[in-house]
């Protein structure tokens, strides 16, 4: 490997406010550390549905915990100087965004698309589950919205997203955001982003 070869997979789910925080922060941190981010959109719903008594703590937890998590996000956004407007339809339906982001893969427009979807949801309270919202973001990025959305809805592509969820499970992923280093080391949560970047850097040093 060359000194710039360090990579880190960023597994994210558009419904998650903690993913919003990481999506807004990861590019600057990765650039400073010369780590290449591999964008890995996926869905948590199919993973949560396999454990009926362990729903998403942010979405279905006890009232005290749900209240706390919202306050936690508010404080973190203030610390990071990120805008926040809590989605009135929380949790938003992330399916279409995930399909399009998976289609983008590691293309040049993938990071900007990902950031824009999170911003629309958590800074502007727009319904990212609605095709016109995603289409508007695609247009802003110079993509053909009708063509992209049609391709994202083919049976083949839907199967790819299902396989992506299984790939997450195979890595031991159970929540989002998650970060996976080249050696398979897993980090969970926005709180572990810096540690994951440092791990990827140390991997490069060890290679």
93 binds its own copies (CB under 8 A): no
Smallest separation (angstroms) from its own copies to the CB of 54: 6
Q: Are strands 36-41 and 7-12 parallel, antiparallel or unpaired?
A: parallel
Binding segment (CB under 8 A) for its own copies, from list 33-41, 94-102, 151-159, 165-173: 165-173
Tokens 């053909």, located at residue: 144
| Residue number with CB closer to its own copies (71 or 124) | 71
* DSSP-assigned letter for residue 93: P
49 binds its own copies (CB under 8 A): no
- C-alpha distances in angstroms, 102 versus 37, 82, 151? 14, 25, 11
Identify the three-state secondary structure at position 129: coil
Number of residues that bind its own copies (CB under 8 A): 26
Specify whether the CB–CB gap between 12 and 19 falls below 8 A: yes
| Residue number with CB closer to its own copies (36 or 75) | 75
81 binds its own copies (CB under 8 A): no
Q: Which strands, in side-by-side order, build the sheet including 7-12?
A: 36-41, 7-12, 178-181, 186-188
| Residue number with CB closer to its own copies (66 or 131) | 66
**Interface ranges with its own copies (CB under 8 A):** 51, 53-55, 57, 61-62, 64-65, 67-68, 71-72, 75, 79, 169, 172-175, 186, 188-189, 191-192, 195
């Amino acid at each position: 490997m060359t000194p710039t070869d360090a990579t880190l997979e960023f597994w994210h789910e558009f419904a998650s406010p903690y993913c919003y925080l990481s999506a807004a922060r990861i590019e600057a941190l990765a650039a400073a550390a010369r780590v290449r981010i591999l964008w890995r959109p996926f869905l948590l719903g199919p993973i949560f549905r396999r454990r009926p008594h362990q729903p998403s703590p942010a979405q279905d937890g006890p009232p005290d915990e749900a209240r706390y998590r919202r306050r936690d996000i508010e404080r973190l956004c203030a610390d990071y100087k990120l805008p926040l407007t809590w989605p009135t339809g929380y949790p938003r339906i992330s399916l279409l965004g995930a399909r399009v982001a998976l289609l983008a893969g590691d293309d040049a427009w993938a990071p900007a698309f990902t950031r824009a979807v999170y911003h629309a949801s958590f800074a502007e309270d727009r319904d990212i589950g609605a095709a016109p919202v995603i289409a508007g973001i695609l247009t802003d990025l110079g993509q053909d919205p009708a063509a992209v959305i049609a391709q994202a809805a083919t049976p083949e592509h839907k199967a790819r997203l299902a396989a992506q969820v299984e790939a997450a499970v195979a890595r031991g992923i159970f929540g989002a955001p998650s970060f996976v280093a080249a050696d398979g080391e897993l980090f969970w949560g926005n709180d572990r982003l810096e540690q994951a970047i440092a791990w990827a850097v140390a991997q490069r040093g060890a290679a």
